[in-house]
Structure 1
Amino acid sequence: MRDGWTGRNRCNLINFLVYCPKGTVFLKSVDASHASKTADLLFRLFTEVVLYVGIENIVHIVIDNIVNYVAAGRLLEKEFPNLFWSPCAAHCINLMLQDIGKLAEVVDTVSHAANITKYLYNHCHPLFLMRQYTYRKEILRSAPTRFAINFIALQSILAQKDALRSLKQCVDIVKLTELLVRVLRVVDSEDKPAMSFLYQTIFKAIHEMERRFQRNKTKVKPSLDIMDSRWDLQLKRNLYAAGYWLNPHCFFNVDEFEKHKFTTSGLLDVIEKYAYADPDLLDKLTSEMRIYKNAELDFGRSAAIRERSKVMLGIISLS
């Protein structure tokens, strides 16, 4: 995983980290302050890391959504044919929220919410009264840096609406964005890997948005268009489709999987890419795919069947 960081002295660092079953490990930092971060330079840096870690130990490289990083990712795939890369899912969800935040009706409401919180926290007596009537529950203040914060602040204000007597317009915005914020929390979690839940959570969020606004589809359409565009351009990856297919919670839910059978094609693409030029490995992977699909051997044990409904169940509730 690649993460950029700029210090107070304008030092521009590129950090490289490795995520594995035991957690996230810092690998190294590169000072890129005095270099133009072209696709070729990034490609060379990424290649050094890949060779150091070992191509046989890497499945997926996560990088930024910026054009030069995307170009570097494509060069990496060309150099290492069985390697996968994708933009950061959390960053993509944040960009969806940023785009939604630019819609005119959202701008007005977020601005109103910011004025309310600014007034409350800048005046002692109103702040004292607010804390008294909300039983000392705070209102999260909007911030310009993390786009989700604005919508979390609206949720906080709405939760205290009886005490504050304010903001009807924020109801609709919260009904929309709280679902996307939950997706962000899933993909940005450091506790458990969430790759196998990205497809499910994003589609559940879209479905729930449509259900909540089924009587007023024009209100939800701009936000859905934004999400569809970002999804198609940045996150619609075969690796995430494979994660969905190989997630027993999703695959063995017959009614749900029926809607997403197209992920089978994504899984096959991943298997063929990963087994690049190795027919024996391809045969082994497709054989294990069949064993999993038919719940044979250990996949058919009662303990394995019970676990299907328990895997990370708490983080995917969007209703």
Structure 2
Amino acid sequence: MVAENLLKIKRPNIFWTSCATHTLNLMLQGIGNQPRFKGLIEKAKAFTIFIYAHHETLALMRKHTKKRDIVRPGVTRFATSFLTLQSLMDKKSELRCMVACDDWTACKHSKSAKGKVAYNTVLSASFWNGVTLCLKVFAPLFKELRLVDGDKKPSMGFLYGELLKAKEDIKEAFKHQEANYRPIIEIIDDKARGRLDSPLHLATYLLNPYYFYKDEDIQYDQVVMEGFFLCVEKFFPDDLETQSVVTNEELLMYKSKGGGFGRALAQLGFAKNDDRKIINKKRRAQELGVDVLLGNEASRAQGWIVDGGDEEDDSDITSEMEGEASGVDSGLRKSFRNVEVRELHDEDFVSDEDTEEEG
């Protein structure tokens, strides 16, 4: 923000935008802290922590899932939550079979208070309905997070449009019941304001054929057009002739698909939002099926496998953003933990409960 203020003075025709990845994580944090989702995530964590706390339950889970872990580390805590909820949903049938089998009944840990809670969680229809809703709400924002954090193609022209689509998908997830989706939309709008809806974002949205040629009514959106005109004025200050050419000639050619925009090959490229060769920077990454949300550090998933193992407080990202706004480096990094980092495949791990019982 300090740099932005300096640029306004020395480089008045340059736009400064916030980090989209950071802003989207801030949105996810706010939504994840909503009572409807926070309680659900804590229930899911309690289940996975119980499974990973004992060799017997861990072996039983891996037997039923064909040695596939239910916890999937992400590049951030929010990515870990989303990926793990997806993993749980994918293995719903296997997990239900696990708690219904004789081996589970015979396991001493299943008779504990936490074991009974884990059993009830997996067999609870309301829990799985909650996971389904949570994934539907989070998925559109994680899709955008993949877009901006993947470096596969320039993402500026898609940020505003995908955010609009994400909000529509979230409304649909709540069956357009305003009382249910309004708090979520308010969080998105609040975090996006001034960060993902600047004149530059609006102008690139208008000038992205993927959106405009599907919905030409965009040109009648007063907010979008105002953003475009502000961009033109900022890029060409004190040059009314160029401003006139851009707004009265070039923009009209774009709207009417004149010149190169009318070619069949160009229109074919506008048909879908994919990694076209002309803008793809890392084709190889796509070919390998790399998911930018996946991480390989077990420390990112400690909150899901060790009780009290969250690597950062919920306030970390908010505090960091406040530090940016004040121009002060908050210095926040991963907080020190009172628990030892547990690897997902650490077969030598012995939980505190195991030690006490065996003793």
TM-score, normalised via structure 2 length? 0.62
Which residue of structure 2 aligns with residue 187 of structure 1? Answer: 148
1:75-122 CA distance string (max 9 Å, x none): 312321110001111110100111112222322222222222222233
What's the CA shift for 1:313? 7.0
2:268 equivalent to 1:306: yes
- Pair 223,254 (structure 1): closer, same or farther in 2 beyond 3 Å: closer
Counterpart-to-counterpart distance in 2, 1:191 and 1:216: 36
1:211-265 CA distance string (max 9 Å, x none): 1212644333222211111122422111111111111111111367478564222
- Pair 298,225 (structure 1): closer, same or farther in 2 beyond 3 Å: same
CA contact (8 A) 2:167 2:185 kept: yes
Which has a greater percent of strand? Answer: 1
1:6-48 CA distance string (max 9 Å, x none): xxxxxxxxxxxxxxxxxxxxxxxxxxxxxxxxxxxxxxxxxxx
2:158 equivalent to 1:197: yes
Runs of at least 5 residues in structure 1 that lack an aligned partner in the other structure:
1-69
- Pair 141,218 (structure 1): closer, same or farther in 2 beyond 3 Å: farther
**Structure of greater Rg:** 2
Which residue of structure 2 aligns with residue 19 of structure 1? Answer: none
Which residue of structure 2 aligns with residue 96 of structure 1? Answer: 27
Root-mean-square deviation (Å)? 2.7
Counterpart-to-counterpart distance in 1, 2:72 and 2:17: 32
Which residue of structure 2 aligns with residue 155 of structure 1? Answer: 86
Counterpart-to-counterpart distance in 1, 2:184 and 2:214: 28
What's the CA shift for 1:143? 7.6
Which residue of structure 2 aligns with residue 105 of structure 1? Answer: 36
What's the CA shift for 1:274? 0.3
Instruction: Give the secondary-structure state (helix, strand or coil) at the position aligned to 1:241.
Output: helix
Identity of aligned residues (%): 32
Query: Aligned AA for 1:270?
Result: C
Which residue of structure 2 aligns with residue 114 of structure 1? Answer: 45
What's the CA shift for 1:162? 1.8
- Pair 117,306 (structure 1): closer, same or farther in 2 beyond 3 Å: same
- 1:220 pairs with one of 181, 186, 190: 181
Instruction: Give the secondary-structure state (helix, strand or coil) at the position aligned to 2:150.
Output: coil
Which residue of structure 2 aligns with residue 53 of structure 1? Answer: none
CA contact (8 A) 1:114 1:141 kept: no
1:192-229 CA distance string (max 9 Å, x none): 11111111111111111111212644333222211111
- 1:140 pairs with one of 41, 47, 71: 71
CA contact (8 A) 1:239 1:266 kept: yes
Counterpart-to-counterpart distance in 1, 2:220 and 2:162: 14
- 1:239 pairs with one of 191, 197, 200: 200
